[in-house]
Structure 1
Amino acid sequence: MSHLRTYPDAEGFFGKFGGSFIPPELVPHMQAVTDAYLRISRSAQFVNELRHIRKHFQGRPTPVSYAANLSERLNGARIYLKREDLNHTGAHKLNHCMGEALLAKHMGKKKLIAETGAGQHGVALATAAAYFGMECEIHMGEVDIAKEHPNVVRMKLLGATVVPVGFGGRTLKEAVDSAFVSYLKDPETTLYAIGSVVGPHPFPMMVRDFQSVIGVEAREQFAEITDGRLPDHVVACVGGGSNAMGIFAGFIDEPAVALHGVEPHGTGTELGQHAATITYGEEGVIHGFRCLMLKDAEGNPAPVHSIASGLDYPGVGPEHSFLHESGRVQYAAASDAETLNAFYALSRHEGIIPALESAHAVAHAMKLAKQRPAGECILVNLSGRGDKDIDYVVDTFGDGRDRDLFG
């Protein structure tokens, strides 16, 4: 039975995770989005228009590359990269942003609103808004604004209004809170374009579906360059988890392919030192859906930390929570230090500067490669490029020349 056809159920649940826990006044608006998506997304007009955008605007398909130098140095399983860093705007986020904006256009909406952490979703949504001639409002924590300045500039150049969020931890969780408050003021003419496989139904399903283009492409491309075989392992970073669900979609019904989600372990195991939700979390409700989440002593969303702003979230997509509980996906965590090593290693030895989010997946793949035989293959979803991170990394940690990257 196909996982993608089976989950979620009609109420938006993946097992006991997901659903829609929202204020009564939002229920009819979310139902309208659900009804529109289920109707419009299956129409030939919508599908053809989105295919045209994928090919002629986004530059899809993105390639799969063999990381020969990295693989040789690790002397184990071979590492391949699905190059979402080459998608227009530099990350996988445009895959669902163009889909959500196209849906908004068909629904007659005039404005797009969203949160962003690393700024990649904000840039992608601002790009989609410019393409379709819509207003765009992006909420971003002040901490992330300081870390990800290049993406803030891009959003403004693309015509978006960037709203700084200065309460609480001033990162991604607070940006979501702020964006929801703004959305509640005018849900009639605005679409809240959620930036990951999180939020109330239908967004975890909808974003996964739009991102599944990654897995569909990767499966075909990998078979083409390896004489018809499937990868032994597929690895992707997980914050909310959209890029991971995108690539997992191509292989989730293949039990011989091991799927690995990689969370941010930050600097330690205490609350506030990491954002490893599946590793340390418990069941709860956040931002309108049930998932595994990190809680403080009072049961509220806990403070979190990651070197990667896009992974700095105390919850995780409900589908990931379900896949962890079912055992279909193995979830691990990479520390800030391991992530930095992977960032420098891929930059220096493959000529690819990855986003810090993606470097978490590379870090786990490097560790996995050393443990697996040379005949096995690891496919990593390189979810974004690191242009946004280079100033922060070099100013804070240096250029990495003094690091033992393969010790």
Structure 2
Amino acid sequence: MKIAKAIHPDEFGFYGEFGGAYIPELLRPAVEELDTSFKNYCFTESFRSEYLDLLKNYVGRPTPLYFAKNYSQKYGAKIYFKREDLCHTGAHKINNTIGQILLAKHMGKTEIIAETGAGQHGVATATVCALMGLNCMVYMGEKDMERQSPNVQRMKMLGAEVRSATCGSKTLKDATNEAIRHWINFPDSYYLIGSVVGPHPYPEMVAYFQSIISEEIANQIQEVGFASPTRIIACVGGGSNAAGAFYHFYSDPEVELIAVEAAGEGLESGKSAATSVLGSPGVLHGSFTLLMQDSFGQVTEPHSISAGLDYPGIGPLHAHTISTGRTKSIAISDSEALQAALECSRLEGIIPALESAHAIAALEKLKFTPEERIIINLSGRGDKDINTYQKAFQNL
């Protein structure tokens, strides 16, 4: 896993104009320690050996590149699903938590804190903390705890303490606020962030750990007889699964990269999370990026039926690639995502997470030719969203 020059940030953590580390002075020693430890340890043979062993024997990698025959017939192209939903814990999140927990142990950290939206990162963090015998505390928005209650119970069963964030919209943004406040008060703890957001080196680090996805895609697409995909589609909240799926293809201009955001109830409704459309440059959670804010620079509340996409910003890597045109963004509404989830369930026998359903729904916005090879990163499974699906489709 080599960091591609096309997406490697500069020494200050900037991807073009976006990135950096906008943090309180109390956190600077912790962030500098993290940066040094990441660069000195996570590119060594000993780290790579242990990391890849856990990905294979614990996580269950490589995940399949599944040819979606029924979708391919419907859209007239070769459509594949990268099955991250088949990872242990049910999503791509564990690729990152395995990497970071090895780093935390190397640094001698014993207290792990995390934030979570849909609960998949919280479950993945609780899982690796149980595996390594470390204490785990997860902050989760009160609203998300209600709509993703199965994951709350999973975290507790794994031994994590789950703390609710009761301010603001009571979703991912607020959980991240609380986790950062905790880190400021206890800088010797390890903040295991879940996406390509936050101060440098987190965006670079999380993208690196998630790059196993595109590394496998590059090999698997050749195994089925093609040099490369034509398009790769992935949902983006903060953007870790998309960063992982795009990683090894950023430098290949022949591969179109499509980031799918949550339009919520509509771009003009005031209840949306489509940051690349509605956002503007500013600082959010320690980095300079695109975020939704009012004329006074105050963060505006996002909305999505998907807890994992209900975030008012995107990672600086995505802000850079979208603003420069390397990545195309598409916004999908709540209703479009719900219909895509139902269709996927009945066409392919796969119930996707609501986050992944947004990526699948993008197919309706695109045109294809029979020669195209389309890969959708199926970032997670839909067990956690079954209550939402049941309410949406009351006749099931």
Shift of 1:399: 5.3
Aligned residue for 1:183? 183
| Structure 1 position 205 matched with structure 2 position 199 | no
- What 5-or-longer segments of structure 1 have no aligned partner? 401-407
Change in CA separation of 1:121 and 1:68 when aligned onto 2, cut-off 3 Å: same
| Structure 1 position 392 matched with structure 2 position 350 | no
Shift of 1:297: 3.8
Shift of 1:230: 1.2
Rounded Cα–Cα distance in structure 2 between residues aligned with 1:390 and 1:184: 36
Aligned residue for 2:71? 70
Counterpart secondary structure, 2:233 = strand
- Counterpart of 1:296 (choices 294, 297, 300) is 294
- What 5-or-longer segments of structure 2 have no aligned partner? none
Aligned residue for 1:376? 372
Aligned residue for 1:165? 165
Matches within 5 A, 1:1-400: 3-4=4-5, 7-74=8-75, 76-188=76-188, 190-225=189-224, 227-270=225-268, 272-368=270-366, 371-398=367-394
Q: Is the 8 A contact 2:345 2:352 kept in 1?
A: yes
Q: Is the 8 A contact 2:6 2:251 kept in 1?
A: no
Rounded Cα–Cα distance in structure 1 between residues aligned with 2:40 and 2:395: 50
Shift of 1:88: 0.6
Rounded Cα–Cα distance in structure 1 between residues aligned with 2:244 and 2:45: 22
Q: What amino acid maps onto 2:191 in structure 1?
A: Y
Shift of 1:231: 1.2
Shift of 1:219: 1.1
Counterpart secondary structure, 2:155 = helix
Shift of 1:396: 3.6
Q: What is the Cα-based RMSD across aligned positions, in Å?
A: 1.4
Q: Is the 8 A contact 2:80 2:374 kept in 1?
A: yes
Rounded Cα–Cα distance in structure 2 between residues aligned with 1:271 and 1:124: 34
Rounded Cα–Cα distance in structure 1 between residues aligned with 2:250 and 2:28: 31
Please give the per-residue CA displacement for 1:263-311, whole angstroms capped at 9, x wherever unaligned: 0001122464110001111000011100011002431111110011000
- Flag as ranges the 4+ runs of structure 1 deviating above 3 A: 2-6
Counterpart secondary structure, 1:108 = coil
Q: What amino acid maps onto 1:37 in structure 2?
A: F
Alignment length (residue pairs): 395
Rounded Cα–Cα distance in structure 1 between residues aligned with 2:220 and 2:177: 39
Rounded Cα–Cα distance in structure 2 between residues aligned with 1:52 and 1:244: 23
Please give the per-residue CA displacement for 1:238-272, whole angstroms capped at 9, x wherever unaligned: 00000001010121111111110000001122464
Q: Is the 8 A contact 2:309 2:355 kept in 1?
A: yes
Aligned residue for 1:404? none
Shift of 1:217: 0.2
Rounded Cα–Cα distance in structure 1 between residues aligned with 2:364 and 2:78: 10
Aligned-pair identity (%) = 48
Shift of 1:5: 6.2
Rounded Cα–Cα distance in structure 2 between residues aligned with 1:34 and 1:271: 40
Q: Is the 8 A contact 2:7 2:250 kept in 1?
A: no
Rounded Cα–Cα distance in structure 1 between residues aligned with 2:321 and 2:114: 26
Q: Is the 8 A contact 1:275 1:313 kept in 2?
A: yes
The TM-score with structure 2 as length reference comes to 0.97
Q: What amino acid maps onto 1:230 in structure 2?
A: S
Rounded Cα–Cα distance in structure 2 between residues aligned with 1:386 and 1:333: 20
Q: Is the 8 A contact 1:215 1:251 kept in 2?
A: yes
